[in-house]
Amino acid sequence: MSRPSSWHRTALDRIPGGRDGRRMLVVSIVDKTGTGLWAGCTALYFTYVSGLSLAQVGLLMTVSGGVGIAGAPLAGLLADRFPLVRVIVATQLMRGAALLALLTTDHFLLLTFYSALGALPDRAGSVLIKLYAARQAGADRVRYQAIQRTTVNIGWSLGGIGAAAALASGSDRAYTYLLIGNVLSYLAIAVLTLRCAEPPAPARADTTATATDAPRPKSAGPWRDRTFLGYTATDAALFLDDTILQVAVPLWLVHATDAPVGLVPLLLVLNTVLVVLFQVPLARFGATARAARRLLVPLSGLFVAGTLALAASAAGGRALATAALVVAVVALTFAEIIHATSSWELSVALAPADAQGAYLGAHGLAQSTQRFAGPLLVTGVMTAGPLAWPVLGLALVGAAAAQHRLIRDRVEKPTPSSLSVAKVTVSEH
């Protein structure tokens, strides 16, 4: 049997979290490949296979999105009380079961119920993976999360390619096959996750990057922590980069600019490629809470640049529109990368060690709420016209400035032990 080359071993060793950390990255790429098969054709399945009207599909997705908001805090509470790996496996199996149930009925109310039931564990997934990274990768959690996000984008791309190939057949059966493919991916990742050992408990994991090491009483939970709740509220606004890129840019291109429609998939590819190339290298700029807070300044500049470019894209002419949209996507993609890095570190750094799950679950509301309300907000901006984009940009600058000031004392307060402490060595299992 051939042994791995020294280069291969070195590359693997640079991934934080040891063997189980690497296994969880495989879980992420398989998970998102399966999700990529299904996500892009979900609405089409309900239309062509289940026979729902456009209004019914919209209501179904709105209800399931609203119910899914509760998934993040619920997952955090469970993760503080039960073994994390078992909670992750349970959510994976619940996602698969809820999705498989869609094949059993064409009834609108049942389809809405199953979709809402599946949205709970689906929204819980990112919180649980972040908590796993915090416990397993220790002080290298930001780098681990950056690598994990890169694998997620690769998985999404592979799934999207597979979905496009299946739908090219023109058969309604393709939607069913894609759904089943996603269900099988959930079964596969559940098996893979069971091979991962339970990560170190919070008391043993690296919690030294918490914003302060000053002694304090046992946490009363995130719901009484006004600073953390304020941080979560401002972070919900900063997560709008995702909705702007995924929802607003395609619609704006088609309805307000002279750019060719064929540019839409190219802009989405550009976004994915930039994330894959730069997420890991830029993660080092947010490796501590103080560094992550400083990232809010360039983040503000990128929001301004991106929204100004979107406004300029409607000025007229194909060349100007194309160039402005490319600039907007580049600026907003780097905003996405920088905010992801900052948010990963700060959400863990502001959480006490004895309630990491509850705090990260509460922070998960930021992204869930943005996914629910973000499309409505950006479509309202588009309706208001080009000048509304810079106004939105300034509002996001205000949210970043508010967050920067809000967490100052928790992040900058000098303590006997620095945030940049020795890394925890996580044993191989």
Mean pLDDT of 25-52: 85
CB atoms within 10 A of CB 242: 18
Mean pLDDT of 197-220: 55
Greatest CA separation found in the chain? 65
Q: DSSP label at 211?
A: S
Distance CA 82, CA 72 (A): 15
* Average pLDDT of every residue of the chain: 83
Does the predicted model carry a pTM greater than 0.85?
A: no
Q: 425, 16 in Cβ contact below 8 A?
A: no
The least confident of 184-193, 197-206, 285-294, 335-344 is: 197-206
Report which of 295, 140, 120 is spatially closest to residue 205, judged by C-alpha positions: 140
The string of pLDDT tens digits covering residues 275-329 is: 888 988 888 888 888 999 999 999 999 999 999 999 999 998 899 999 999 999 9
The least confident of 21-25, 150-154, 165-169 is: 165-169
Distance CA 99, CA 197 (A): 27
Higher pLDDT, 255 or 91: 91
Q: Residue 5: what pLDDT?
A: 53
The least confident of 166-170, 215-219, 257-261, 353-357 is: 215-219
- Please list, in sequence order, all residues whose beta carbon lies within 8 angstroms of the beta carbon of residue 306, skipping any fewer than 6 positions away: 241, 244, 327, 328, 329, 331, 332, 335, 393
- Please list, in sequence order, all residues whose beta carbon lies within 8 angstroms of the beta carbon of residue 391, skipping any fewer than 6 positions away: 381
The three-state secondary structure class of 15 is coil
Q: Crossing angle for the helix pair 263-283 and 249-256, nearest 10 degrees? A: 150
Higher pLDDT, 86 or 217: 86
Distance CA 259, CA 399 (A): 31
Question: The tokens of 258 are what?
Answer: 């002279």
- ∠ CA 336-338-339, nearest 5°, is 65
Higher pLDDT, 216 or 191: 191
Q: Say yes or no to pLDDT of 69 above 50.
A: yes
Q: 371, 65 in Cβ contact below 8 A?
A: yes
Higher pLDDT, 170 or 31: 31
- ∠ CA 17-5-145, nearest 5°, is 25
